[in-house]
Structure 1
Amino acid sequence: MTQLGILLTNKYRLLSVAAILDVFESVNKFYAADGKEPVFNISLFAANQPDEKAVEFNDRQILSLESAAKQDLIFIPAFNATDIVAAIQENHRFIPWLRQQYQAGAELACVCTGAFLLGATGLLDGKAATTHVDACEVFANAFPQVKLQANKVVTGDGGLYTSGGSTSSFHLMLHLLQKYCGRDIAVRIAKLFSIDMDREQQTYFRTFAPAQVHNDELVAMAQRSIKSSYHNTGTIEELIKEIPGSRRNIARRFKQVTGITPIEYLQKTRIEAAKSLLIETNQQMTEVMINSGYSDPKAFRKIFRKTVGMTPTGYREKFYMG
């Protein structure tokens, strides 16, 4: 199990710590749902009076630095302070501890202005780093030996990781999840938290998950028919022809229950199938098209792009798990 430590520094930004906890606890839940042991043992560490901070984390145990075992990965959160230099002075007790942990083999990752504390250890000297864009000038003056890359979202150099401001922390966590857990888990987290690695749009993180539990058996029959036969290139009329009732009545009730028409439901089901084939198999594009129920390449690309927000090829390039 990977030992993951999160520092509760003086003047830490609560949202920063909460995001780290939320992401890695979600990873453990994914593993548990798959019948596997959790991959991360998460601990919170404080330098002074750790019990005072417990109320902010649902009374989760906060450990002192003195009681800390060797960690594999340590996160330094962003600072909630306008005077970063003063904040570093208030957190001097973490500096020798971070050095010791790093020398013992731990990797260190910092969020946003947390890079200042990592910079103060001297471990970043000669290595690449980034921080919040508005703090780059101060950082460069404070740590001239660090190779500051102000335009970078995430840097990784010698087991030391940094990220820019705001949502860049999620990009850092995705980067580390790919290393510790693999691309599949990173993609699942990206979808869960709607993290766009390219920061362009959120459409392609959306998953079609229609209501399946309801009291309309006629609609349930139509849903089952579409689910079992969506890959056939027939029309919606052909897929629901065995269901008792008029076409108009079925369509009306179907939209009442699912919020969309049977035709829209079929298209979304087919596109969801195509998405899975694109990222989980090495099928050629023609095979993906046919196996998801389409026969016209032009129509397939048009519907896919309209629904997902990018082309089938672009989707595969971004999310392929092979």
Structure 2
Amino acid sequence: MSAYTLPRHLGLLVLGALAVLATSYLLEPYRLFQAATVAAFLCATAGLTILTGLSGQLSLGHGALMAVGAYSLALSQRALAERGLTGGGALPISLLVAVLVTTALGAVIGVAAARIRGPYLAGVTLTVAIAVPALTVTFSGVFNGEQGLAVPLAPPPAVLGPYFPYERWQLWLAAAVTLLALLLLTNLVQSRYGRLLRAVRDDEVAAGLAGLPVAGIRVLAFVVSAAAAGLGGALLALLTQNVSPGAFSLALSLSLLTAVVVGGLGRLAGAAWGALLLVALPELTHSLAEALPLTPALAHRMEGNLPLAIFGLTLVLVVIVAPGGVQGHLSRLAHAAWTRLPHRAAPPTT
């Protein structure tokens, strides 16, 4: 990472924060909530992009990792509230707990991932995606079964005024945490560690012969990705103020993987497109189901299954038309437009 990388990323962080601040005063409450949800999903898709796109490890269990982060935050917030800690200082503690717990689980999965490859790794992560929601139902005394846990959250600071929209405060919280996470992940991708990830992804045997700790690199990739997923799940719990196993089903894990492929595998900017798709697609399918002349029962059935069908169709189309995803296609278009610009005339030679 060059000396100019961190200042450039900090500048982009400031620009992103200013853009969120300005946009938050232009959107209605429902759109503010949607924007905050995009920020929460962006943490998870960015982590999955690093794992699958940069290290080449396939995970079908990131929805379960989000569930671990969400339940960890809910339990932490409830424990702190029982001890009288309900102010704004409790939230950073709960977020840290959620990240640490999910990081520990990611380390366990990463150790297993260092020993297996391909479909076997997908099978292990698929087991995690199925087991975590089932455990929350089995131990209903702790996790309250299918009803889930309420997440206590302090109101916006009084200095913002009595009529400050709660959804705007949610967006500020989610965006602030996500921007900081993206700053760390972006610096990591462009550091020596990012180059090691790509080396292992491109040729694991050659990386091992070159003396690189392949197993350790694979484990660290899972740890970083799990921490980001847990943070995304914790933010989602803050937004919905409730955590239940139905919100973190296997369909979410599959949707996350599809989203990063559609957005652009291996590109953090592609993770942003994937997060946007995760939030926009359910609303689009709901509007489509309402527009079609269907019976209420059939419309309800289509609304439940149509998002997955459209996700699959979108994935097929992207693989055929734009193999690099949305961000890869945009990058090629930008490069083609740049090459068509008239070049400066070369200075006359003497």
TM-score class normalised by the smaller sequence = under 0.3
The structure with more strand, counted as a fraction of residues: 1
Instruction: Flag the structure with larger Rg.
Output: 1
TM-score normalized by the length of structure 2: 0.21
The structure with more helix, counted as a fraction of residues: 2
TM-score normalized by the length of structure 1: 0.22
Between the two structures, name the one with larger relative contact order (CA 8 Å, sep ≥ 6). 2
